[in-house]
Structure formats: C-alpha cells, structure tokens
Chains A and B, each alone.
Chain A
Amino acid sequence: MLFSRRLMLGLATAGTLAGALAFPALAEGPTEIDLFFPVPVDGKLARDMGTLIKEFNEGHPNIKATAVYTGSYDDTLIKTRASIKAGKPPAAVIMSANFLLDMQIENELTNLDSLIAADGTTKEQFLGQFFPALQGNAVINRSVYGVPFHNSTPLLYINADQAKEAGLDPNKPPQTWAELTDWAKKLTKREGDKVTRWGIAIPCAYDYCGWMMETLTMTNGGRYYNEEFGGEVYYDTPSMLGALTWWSDLVTKHKVHPPGATPGPAVSTSFISGNAAMMMLSTGSLTYVRDNAKFAYKVAFIPRNVRNAVPIGGASLIVPAGQEADKQKAAWTLIKWMTSPEKSGWWSRATGYFAPNMAAYKTPDMVDFLNKNPDAKTAVEQLDVAKPWFATYKTVPVRKTLEDEVMLVLNGKKQPKEALVAAQKAADETLKPYNAETSLKLP
C-alpha cells in the first residue's frame, strides 16, 4: 500500500482546492464580471483601461469588474467565441463594430432592447445619444446589439512643410480626386527612375485595405455592401471600378504612390519620416502623429470624386449570449457608465478616437481639449457625412476576397476590372449559404 497514503493526500488537497474555488460563488459579495478589451493601437491603452475600470469599481461597490486584455480586434473575436463555446462568456466585450452582424447571425449576441426598456427609456432615446453615423453598426433588424464605445473615420494627413515647399497652400487642402492627384504629383520627388519621396500613401493590408476601398468607393458615389442585408456586396460596380482604377493609376500611371501592399504602420512611419508627403489613415492615428511628427501637419476630409462620404471604424460594447441575468445587469451598468459623456470624452482624449456620445463634446474638458488641438475637430466634423462600416455574413472572408484582388492590382499583376469580377465571384460564393437561408429561401 505504497500509494494509498499519497493518494489520500492528493484527494485531500484536491478537495480543499475545490472547496476554495467553490466558496466565493456561495458567498454573498459583489457581482464579478469580466470585460474583454482589445488594444488595436498601442500599449498605453491597457493602462488607461485599468484606470477606467478601477474608477468604476470604486463607484460601484456591488460590482467587481475585471478588464481582461485580449489582443487585437481579431483575437478578441476568437477569444470571445471560444469562451462562449466553453459556456463561460465574458459579461461584456469591446468588439470591432463590423463583427456584430456576423455574431448576431451566429446567435452569439444578447439583444439589448429589454435592458434598455428596463431603464424606462426607448430605443430612440437611447440611440439618440450617439452620432447617427454610428447607429448602423449597432442596430440589427431594428434591435440594439451594441453600444458605440470608440470610433474613427479615415482622414487625409498632409505634411504642411513639404506642401509649402512645393508651392501648395496647406490651408486649402485638396478637396477632389483631381486636386489630390495634382498635389501628389507636385509632392513626389524623383532621382531618375527612383522615387525619393512619395506624393501620397494609402494603406493596404488585410482589414485596412477593405476599409480604404470602402472609403474610395463611397467618395466615388458608391456603396460597398447592402446596409440592410448581410448577403450582398457590390464589388463589380462602376463606382468601385472607378475607385480601384484611380488608386491603381496613382501607382502605375502617375507613379506618385508606393507600389504593392503597404500596411498601416508602414504608411504612418513613412509619413512621420517625411518619406510620404500625404497619407490616408484612421483618426485613431492622430495622437500618434501629433506626438511624433517633427513638422507641421494638417488633417483634412477625404477628397471626393462624386460626393463626400466616409465609413466609420472602431468598436462597440456588446454582451455575449448565454450570460446569467445578474451578470447581464452588471454588464449593462458598466456599459452605460463607460459610454457616458464624461468617460467617453476621457477615453477619446486618451486614445485619439472620437467619442461616440455627442454630449461628450459639450463637457468643459473636451471643449478645452478641442481648443488646444483643433485637428481633432476635423474627425468630428467629417461625421456628418459618415456612414456605417461594411458588415456582412462572414465579414472577414468576404472582405479578404476583395483585398487579395486589390493587392494584385497594386502589384501590377491584374487590371482593376478583372480583379473586381474575380472578387465579386469569390464573395458571392462565400455568401451563398446565407442567401440560401434568407433571400433565396422561397415559399
């Protein structure tokens, strides 16, 4: 009986451990909830989030919220899905705004309507706090599934010093594609065949590339996808063809834009180092540019060909499906607190995203901040022409079909028209199962 004593010891230890684990659940205490949060821009955000949650816990003794860092937007989706599958979903998640539709289709989201009704407000009143452009990504089939937390739009960044040097007036930034092309030509510097300074750089890596294509297509009068129904994208259309052809012309015809696919961080580094005179990038990069640019810079609306329009980006707060009622309630308290005007404004100033809550811009701190940093105003003003971010069934693969083709065009391997035809075909294939269940399911 060599092992019996050890076995007993082992059992005893296991028993104690199990008891210790079970104990807090039995005890009366604050409702413990987890908040999954991604850090899409830089490391400092994790500290800011810690500060925010600490403040919340101090003000709400009945709730103990824990902020769990979950990586990028994509990683956060993976981890949320994994925890839903394991039966232990977090109470709230800061989720990339264009993943909501896909999650709703997969039954992974809690409908927030009843929580709003329990507060004695109507959906219209609740949504009315936020900029109208943000509502498209938060409302699905007239039900609220997400609360906008931090958002962005694309902007045109201009190196003002280089513009002046080229005889251009940075206070009158280019407003149309024609003017932008002209600026880019004047700002490009060459030594023989070699370009030493690019006129403009537009990022194209998975995720960013689709967002920029949506931006260019919208300014060309088009739409990327069906805003009302997740089974359609409009890749093979004149407005997108015009957008991609112009982008491709900047690279191959005018030679004012670096060839190939360049990810966002490479574009911003290029701009900061003076190697690209203009760039199109998210408002989320504004703080980074402000802190790092050693030259005068200007931000402007994305120039138009047909109309001024931009997509939104950023993230919303969601409550995953399958959560216990008391935790759901606690999560709702946290969400309302985090999206209140004061906290929304604080987070905006810390990160560079704009605050989705309109009242945030009336708080004294924010008025003060905007007076000191007028460039932050441009993003907010552009919201008037902003529209939802593309979201379809299987958003990421559907987007990737377009991005792969756009990258081929930017590498000079395909013509825009054949690229878009191929992208449309591949996207339709991915969307097929969803259409079979919805638009093509006939009585």
Chain B
Amino acid sequence: MSLAEPAALPVTTSASPRLHILKRFTTGFKASLPAYLLLLPSLVFLALFTYGAMGRVFVDALYQRATPRAPVRFVGLDNIAAVLADSAFTGAVVNNLVYAVGTAVPSIALALLFALALSRTNAVTSALRAALFLPVLIPMVAASALFLFIFLPNVGLLDYYIGGLLPVLPNWLGDSDIALYAIMIITIWKNAGYYMLFFLAGLQAVPEDVMEAAHLDGAGPYQRLRHIILPELKPTFLFVTVIATLNAVTQVDHVFVMTKGGPSNATNLVLFYIYQQAVEHYDIGKASAATLLTLAALMSLTALSFRTMANREGGR
C-alpha cells in the first residue's frame, strides 16, 4: 500500500482501463518513492549479506569437484543426494530432533511455571525474575566454558556435589550415551529464563475482568489456569515453540566449545555437521547442500506454525 494512494486516485474515466492502471501505478510509485529510497540502504545490506549469501549457497550446492585438483563442475542434485546418504548427516538430524524436543518441552514448561509463579510484580518476584533471566545474559560460549568445568569428570562441581550419591561417576561429556543430555541441560538452563519473558508478557494480556468473573463464579486456581490462562496464552505458546525450535537448530556454540560433536558423533547437530563439511572436509558443495536442506526444513516449519497462528487469530 502506498502512502499517498487515496490522494492520487485518478478520477478521469475517459482513459482506457490499461492506461488507467499504469497511470495509477506510476503516480503511486512516484508518491512512495521517498519510502523506497529510505528503504534502499537496508535493502542494499540485506542483498549483500543475506540474499546474496543465500543465492551463493544455492549455486554452490550444485557444484562439486571429482578429485582434489579437478575444476568444479555442475552436478545438479548430486550433493544433496550425497548429504542424504551420509550416515553422519542422518545421525545429526536424529540427534537434532532429540535435542529439539528434549530442550523445547522442558524449557517451555519451566518458563511457564516461572512466569505463573512470578506474574505479580513486587520486590521479591523482581529479584527472582532477574535471577532466572541471568543465564540469558551470559554468552553461550562463556556459559559452555563454565559448564566444561562443572562437568569435569571426578573433579568438576557436579561430581563434587552429587558424586557421593552415584555408584559410578559418569564421564558426562565423554560418554556417548550421556553427552547429548549434558548438552541439553545447558540449553534448558540458558533458555528457560528467556521464554519466561514471553509468558510474563502473555500473562499481562489475560483480561482482568474475565479472571474476576471466573473468580466470582467460584472457579478454583486450577480451573482458571486450565480454562482461561492457558487458552489465552496459546499464541505465546506457538511463538515460543517456533523460537525454541529455531534455537535448537541455530545455536551450536556449546557443541563447538564442549564436545565438537563427539564422542563418536553423539552430540553432532545439523549446523555443526555443516561446519564440519565446510571446514574440516573443505567440501563447500556438500556443506551448501546440507544448508539448503536445513533452510528448507526450517522455513516450512516456520511457515506452517505462523499459518496456524494466523488461522487461529483470524478464525476467532
């Protein structure tokens, strides 16, 4: 919608419909030119650093070299086929699914719990909110370095405190059965406070009069939660779920710092797999193909969730 459209609406009826449209378009464009010009700088940067890079990935995904010194040649979808056939990639996808579900569900549950407990504002809840939000302020890399010490076998903080209770001290990050869960704990610790913010905001939007009415009608706390608060929070849930899923795919700093995907690929996630292909294997074609697959999955997931959200909003 152009800014000046109503004023520029031509009233002449003698011109042909085609000219009419064209004229309408040009006047519309002329009127909104300043807006486009104002948007131009960001468009340039988006093109340079976002769309340009995406286009490059798309092109790179189609090329491959047969032997180290051979020139790159067009291979079509071969790279994508190679990625799908790579057991390290499928392993990373499975890990990522476990990781996404295993981090999103507990961190959202915790976030809701925190938000409900701290929804009233007073000195105590403000302090507690700040405390729960603190992990969000610590960069993931720094947090990972801290947890590296906490998880140290035998001498780390974790073993120091709970070591006496366990029959055998586990090698938290070195045991291929445990490492992924250790990584998940950090993510939950880090993100629950962040999602709490959204739920706190969502709770502010729960209409006070409805709550009061329910209260007067004799609805208990559980009934109010089940029938008023949770339905009102639905859009927040959806939004936080999308954010949590995106985080599960895009945040791999801790994998990089703590395990490098190991031991034996037990903590390898999709984004780290892409990094390995690009950097360790020096295989840009395969890395780009894996990036495209991930992008496609993420975009369809996001589109699906937002459409559901729009439907719900619109269908009320």
Interface residues of A (CB under 8 A from B): 2-3, 74, 77-78, 81, 102, 105-107, 193-195, 198, 204-206, 258-263, 265-266, 269-270, 273, 275, 393-394, 396-397, 400, 403-405, 407-408, 410-411, 413, 430, 433-434, 436-437
Contacts and interface: CB of A to CB of B under 8 A. Distances in A.
Contacts of B280: 74, 394, 396-397, 400
B167 A260 contact: no
B176 A78 contact: no
B153 A266 contact: yes
B2 interface: no
Contacts of A407: 174, 176, 262-264
Contacts of B113: none
B67 interface: yes
A193 B166 CA distance: 11
B141 to A, nearest CB: 12
Interface-central residue, A261, A433, A437, by most chain B CB under 10 Å: A261
Contact of A394 (B34, B169, B281): B281
Contacts of B260: 205-206
**6 closest Cβ contacts across the A-B interface?**
A260-B174, A260-B171, A407-B263, A437-B67, A261-B263, A261-B174
Contacts, number: 110
B56 to A, nearest CB: 12
Interface string B135-156: 0000000000000100011110
Contacts of B154: 198, 258, 270, 275
A194 B168 CA distance: 6
B69 interface: yes
Contact of A261 (B171, B177, B276, B282): B171
Interface-central residue, B154, B177, B261, B276, by most chain A CB under 10 Å: B154
B123 interface: no
A400 B67 CA distance: 21
Contacts of A404: 262-265
Instruction: Give the interface residue-count category, chain B.
Output: 20 to 34
Interface string B290-310: 000000000000000000000
Nearest to A433: B67
Contacts of B66: 433, 436
A204 B153 CA distance: 14
Given A106-B282, A205-B260, 5 more contacts: A3-B34, A258-B154, A266-B174, A407-B264, A437-B68
Contacts of B148: 265
A269 B37 CA distance: 59
Given A260-B175, A396-B280, A413-B176, A273 B155 contact: yes
Interface in B34-66: 34, 37, 66
Given A259-B171, A433-B66, A411 B263 contact: yes
Contacts of B265: 404
Contact of B264 (A107, A194, A266, A411): A411
Contacts of A77: 279
Nearest to B37: A3
Contacts of A102: 282
Given A258-B171, A259-B171, A270 B155 contact: yes
A2 B70 contact: no
B87 to A, nearest CB: 10
A2 B70 CA distance: 55
Contact of B167 (A194, A397, A411, A434): A194
A270 B153 contact: yes
Contacts of A273: 155
A154 to B, nearest CB: 19
B165 to A, nearest CB: 11
